A and B are shown apart, each in its own frame.
Chain A
Amino acid sequence: MEKTWNNKAWFMVLPVLLLVAFSAVIPLMTVVNYSVQDTFGNNQFFWAGTEWFEEILHSERFHSALGRNLVFSFIILAIEVPLGIVIALNMPRKGWGVPVCLVLMALPLLIPWNVVGTIWQVFGRVDIGLLGHTLEQLGINYNYVQNPMHAWFTVIIMDVWHWTSLVVLLCYAGLVSIPDAFYQAAKIDGASRWAVFRYIQLPKMNRVLLIAVLLRFMDSFMIYTEPFVVTGGGPGNSTTFLSIDLVKIAIGQFDLGPAAAMSIIYFLIILLLSWVFYTVMTNYDAER
């Protein structure tokens, strides 16, 4: 039979293209539109070119928010990934413990973000919060409202509490896919606990770890709700991360131009860093 060659099939994907256009491309282009213009209200716009971009890229405020965000992402990755692996390794593989552990692990993931923030906001209060009050009793002058270190401590602990289970669940999924025969062979070969981890468990978790790192990085880099609820970005600007700063500029100060420019820069940074993570980890994978 003669095959027909034409481009009619494109009509089939048209609905999806339209959907994507409305949900992603058009809003994104609006942002681009704002980022290259200046406005003084009344729907009057003036061409600004790359002015906003230059301003943002040279602004002290942006640099320090970016720095804070990078430090924050680095710290929570450094805690959550190893901690998640350790917990996953120690979770039971069979018996009644499995569903219990899985549900316990999934619990923090099911709580809405602003509720998580509220929980920790209350939890850390010196007068009524369990954490704050206990620390107080222990003689530590804990006050996340005024002390930047304490504010950071609270936000990081909160994120670890909220998101480590994601890493745990992903790693656990990798671990249970390892057939028993591997552990048996390792016993016969006299492998140490470390060797079993290094040569059997880690290679099997490789894939899911990549996903976990990417997800946790992107998420922590975009973190907004929880620190906003707990500290409101303070004290001072000490926990003002990029997204909080962005909202301050856009809604607090109503500087749409710089805010739009900042959104685009922000987006590109996330894209770039995710690509770097992905390339580094898949290359490492292929090399081995």
Chain B
Amino acid sequence: MARIDLNHIRHAYVPNPKSDKDYALKEVHHSWEDGGAYALLGPSGCGKTTLLNIISGLIHPSHGQLLFDGQDVTNLSTQERNIAQVFQFPVIYDTMTVYDNLAFPLRNRGVPEAEIDRKVRETLEMIDLGSWAKKKARGLTADQKQKISLGRGLVRSDVNAILFDEPLTVIDPHMKWVLRSQLKQLHQRFGYTMVYVTHDQTEALTFAQKVVVMYDGEIVQIGTPEELFERPKHTFVGYFIGSPGMNVMPVQLSGGMAQVGRHQIQLPSPSMPAVSGKVELGIRPEYVRLGRLGMPVKIAKVEDIGRLKIVRTRLEDQEIAVIVGEGQEIPTDPHIAFDPKGINIYADSWRVGGL
């Protein structure tokens, strides 16, 4: 296990990058604590796989430095870095049996056969393929292949870190849940440093202690699930985390008040730092109160999602989603009010501190 520092890492796939646009990773400066369980969350194409490949050494970054426990490993090979990685698309060795597939990384490292046998059987149990050990890997189904791929990542016990790149995409929901809790257990037992890439926010929020949100080649926020929910640092995090995402609307600020259209909204703290650029107010649907007080709105749509209802309202030409309890009645003359503790102010998409 190791602490991993990414020191001003930038990466471009094109040979002579000129502008920021040419970089798949714009600038990543961040530490993964020893034994931390991180989820890496972000939209397609934001550079998640690129980042993992840089950590494991499959890609050499264009700029920057990579440290494992303080030692520079930027120029070490994948093998020397001793990292396990599970790929987005399952890779299996067709001609080998399921057992040999799992034993392969150990055999390549000259682990004694008895130790191999113990580890492989343990891992086979974990991924629920114990009875398939002797079968050729060729004829297996997609989810079995993905399990083998996952198993090969878990079979080595001495790795510096385990990187998962959306390892459970084709696995059915129940098995997904089982495997995820097993990964969690493994983490608690052995204290691996784990980075888990996913598109799926519930997966990220249940797996990880810390969630890292990436957007367009940058890390926009690192925090606990609560922090991401309550205080999104970037409007993207607000949209991306939560369902439905945060309501974001353009506002004008003046003396402790925010103006949305014709309406004035009291900010939680009167001492606002000076802001410039595009100013927006963000509030999660959970913090918008629907009732007879506040700003008059029109109801566009009501969606029933079980215990809760999502009410899509319109405040002038601004759409605002509201979450209300299932039993709550929707007034005929609806008004909304913002709970001050849920209000965040953004300048050029980045959160303005101090609120």
Contacts and interface: CB of A to CB of B under 8 A. Distances in A.
A and B co-occur in one complex: yes
A97 to B, nearest CB: 16
A187 B91 CA distance: 12
B93 A200 contact: yes
A199 B53 CA distance: 22
B165 to A, nearest CB: 10
Interface residues of B, number: 24
Contacts of B77: 187
Nearest to A203: B95
A187 B96 contact: no
Given A181-B87, A199-B93, A188 B108 contact: no
B289 interface: no
Nearest to B80: A190
Interface in A230-288: 288
A246 to B, nearest CB: 42
Contact of A188 (B78, B94, B95, B136): B78
Contacts of A185: 85, 87, 91, 149, 152
Nearest to B88: A181
B109 interface: yes
Contacts of B53: 184
Contacts of A189: 104-105, 108, 152
Interface in B84-114: 84-85, 87, 89, 91, 93-96, 104-105, 108-109
B83 A188 contact: yes
A190 to B, nearest CB: 4
Nearest to B85: A188
Interface in B287-346: none
Contacts of B84: 188
Contacts of A7: none
B58 interface: yes
Nearest to A204: B94
A182 interface: yes
A199 B87 CA distance: 18
Interface residues of A, number: 16
Contacts of B149: 185
B105 A190 contact: yes
A44 interface: no
A188 B93 CA distance: 13
A191 B108 contact: yes
Interface in A50-109: none
A195 B96 CA distance: 12
A192 interface: yes
A195 B109 CA distance: 12
A181 B108 contact: no
Contact of A187 (B58, B93, B94): B58
A194 to B, nearest CB: 11
B59 to A, nearest CB: 10
Contacts of A200: 93
Interface string B117-150: 0000000000000000000100000000000010
B60 to A, nearest CB: 13
A179 B105 CA distance: 19
A58 B83 CA distance: 68
6 contacts: A187-B78, A188-B83, A188-B105, A190-B105, A199-B95, A199-B104
Given A184-B91, A188-B83, 10 more contacts: A181-B87, A181-B91, A182-B91, A187-B57, A187-B79, A191-B104, A192-B108, A199-B104, A203-B94, A203-B95
